[in-house]
Amino acid sequence: SGTSFSVILGVVGRAVPAEKRSMAMGIASAAGSFGQFAMLPGTLGLIEWLGWSAALLVLGLLVALIVPFVGMLRDRPLPSHGVEQTLGQALREACSHSGFWLLALGFFVCGFQVVFIGVHLPAYLVDQHLAATTGTTVLALVGLFNIVGTYTAGWLGGRMSKPRLLTWLYLLRAVVIVLFLWAPVTEFSAYLFGIAMGLLWLSTVPLTNGTVATLFGVRNLSMLGGIVFLFHQLGAFLGGWLGGVVYDRTGNYDLVWQISILLSLLAAALNWPVSERPVARLQAKAA
């Protein structure tokens, strides 16, 4: 959690001007996606070469590289406008804003879907009589095409309404899942699903965090983005856990797939009414 989006995108949001913020967040998110693409086959190779225990130590050393990299960062000082908000004031302002909660609930759906698919898709494909390696390849494709998706979402977010883009992303997720379940499951259709879901996978991240920054500013972006991301992780827990429970009790994932489709429609509806209009405090400062 301490190295995840809420911290990283908070730093990125403060480091770039507003007109470049969405694009910068997209680039940062795409870098994480490239890590997913590279580390899936890389970790598998380490386990086959060194065994799981030594492979885990190697991964720990790679994570430790974050420490010297962070030491090279220089946070850009924010301009002062007299008396600044306290954390309590920032929380009260966000919690009284309907858009904040709509974004958080929409992000809950994102977490549910990506973790359900990331954890249970390989087993689902095995149940459909595909090789176990197909699931690994599909998840690698998700990571690869997520690079394109998050970068594109960040670019579009600087030119179009981010809440509207979120609505269309969630609707497209529903369409992709429906088509995947409707068509015969083959190796080819699984790879197409991985590509399509990869384009939509974490494209929500720069758009959601960018909207939070637009609404409330960047001074408390890590905290406010962290609260929104907490909802994402609550959904992630539920998606991973519920997939296992449903499978144990029914022998298939049909119910969770159906829930994922319905949640996509719900998230699309939640994001549509969100306005990118900054809160009155920021409008007063701009004036």
CATH number at 204 reads: 1.20.1250.20
Residue 286 lies in a domain: no
pLDDT of residue 76: 61
Residue 114 lies in a domain: yes
Structurally, how many domains does the chain consist of? 1
Maximum CA extent, the chain = 65
Q: How far apart, in Å, are the Cα atoms of 242 and each of 2, 105, 174, 259?
A: 26, 18, 19, 10
pLDDT of residue 207: 92
pLDDT in tens, the chain (287 residues): 666 777 777 778 777 877 788 788 888 877 877 777 777 778 888 888 899 899 999 999 988 888 888 777 766 666 655 567 788 888 999 999 999 999 999 999 999 999 999 999 999 999 999 988 888 889 888 988 988 898 898 889 888 999 999 999 999 999 999 999 999 999 999 999 999 999 998 899 889 988 998 899 888 888 898 899 999 999 999 999 999 999 999 999 999 999 999 999 999 999 999 998 888 887 777 76
Amino acid at site 125: L
Amino acid at site 203: S
Residue 25 lies in a domain: yes
Residue 278 lies in a domain: no
Residue 282 lies in a domain: no
For residues 5 and 203, the answer to whether their CB atoms sit within 8 Å is: no
pLDDT of residue 97: 92
- For residue 287, give every residue at least 6 positions away whose Cβ sits within 8 Å of its Cβ, in sequence order, or none: none
pLDDT of residue 41: 75
Give 106's Cβ-side CA count (13 Å radius).
35
Distance CA 171, CA 210 (A): 20
Residue 124 lies in a domain: yes
Residue 169 lies in a domain: yes
Q: Can you give the residue range of the structural domain that contains 242?
A: 5-72+87-272
Distance CA 161, CA 45 (A): 42
Residue 141 lies in a domain: yes
